[in-house]
Amino acid sequence: MDEQRKKFIKEYLKEIKKILDSMETDLIEKMNQLANILLKARDEKRTIFIMGNGGSAATASHFVSDLSKGTIVDGSPRFKVIGLTDNIPNLLAWANDESYDDVFIEQLKNLMEPKDIVIGISGSGNSMNVIKAIEYANKNGGITIGISGFDGGKLLKCAQENIHVPDSYMQRVEDIHLLIEHLLTSLIREEQKLKKI
């Protein structure tokens, strides 16, 4: 193997481990808080909305899939969850007729009720369409969660609950965002299984 490649791979993995180690204590507490928020929303039949752009849109869709299907345990209620990234014609209509900054907020205006959960994922923390939707949810009785990287940007300041990955390399930030959603949905599923024993 080329030595440069070997070095890159080792350094990439080393950085991931370092970031996770630095986040571990905070992450344990945050996973507990977010599991409580999501389970309460499920039990109260509230809707959970998830959004992001680019790689974060893929993570949002993955999160929707894992929450809606991957947490199912016989005899337990199911999550009501909607990906604001997944209706492409709707996204394009709002982007074309109004502004790309409005693609998520306008969907929330149709769908969101007070006490619903709105989760915004943004590597930079500065995606304006995510920020506008989070601010709208805050003003209209929603419960907001931000998942960010870099310095957290505006999302870290405006979401009510936050998970921040303290790194400025987008791919590593997105790796850890996906790990976080897998950790959270796995935690919820396994906990529900234990309750059935």
The domain limits of the chain are 3-196
pLDDT digits (tens, 9 = 90+) for 52-101: 999 999 999 999 999 999 999 999 999 999 999 999 999 999 999 999 99
pLDDT band with cut points at 50, 70 and 90 for residue 195: confident
Angle in degrees, CA 7, 174, 145, rounded to 5 = 150
The per-residue pLDDT for range 29-58, each reduced to its tens digit, is: 999 999 999 999 999 999 999 999 999 999
Model pTM above 0.95 = yes
- CATH code, 3-196: 3.40.50.10490
